[in-house]
Amino acid sequence: MTTAVRHRVVVVAYDDVELVEVACVTSAFDGANRLGASPPYDVRLVTPEGRPVRCSSGLVLGAQAALERTHGPIDTLLVVGGPGHAAAAQNTWLVEHVRRLAGIGRRVASVCTGA
C-alpha cells in the first residue's frame, strides 16, 4: 500500500492570535481539499508546547502539535497575526522556533501582523 503525498502546511499560533486569521487560512486549505486539491493539504495548528492558545476574542483553540517538536519536511509555514503579535515577536524562544521552521520550509507566509 502506498501513502498518499500531501502538501504539509504548518500554521503557527500564539496567545492573543486573531481567530479570523486562523480560521481563514485553515478554511481556505480545507476548501481546496474539498474541491480535489492534488496533492491534498495536511494543515496543522502548532503552538508553544502544544498548549491551547487564547484568541483575542477569548475563544481557546487546541493545538495539533507543539511548535518545538515540529520538524520537516514543511511545504508551507504560515504565521498568523493578532493583537498578541508584539509579545510573540519579543519571545525569543518562539521566534527561534519559527526561524528554525522557516529554514526547513519550502515557503514561508504570514497573515497581517504575523509578518
Supply the CATH number for residue 37's domain: 3.40.50.880
Confidence (pLDDT) at 114: 74
In a domain, 12, yes or no: yes
Q: Is residue 89 very low, low, confident or very high in pLDDT (cuts 50, 70, 90)?
A: very high
Task: Choose between 113 and 73: higher pLDDT.
Answer: 73
In a domain, 32, yes or no: yes
Other Cβ atoms closer than 10 A to 28:
13
pLDDT at 1 over 70: no
In a domain, 30, yes or no: yes
The residues that bridge with 66 in the sheet, in sequence order, are 47
- Do 18 and 84 form a contact (C-beta atoms < 8 A)? no
In a domain, 1, yes or no: no
b (16+ CB within 10 A) / e for 93-113: ebeebbebbeeebeebebbeb
Q: What percent of the chain has pLDDT over 90?
A: 90
pLDDT at 19 over 90: yes
| Average pLDDT rounded to a whole number, residues 85-108 | 96
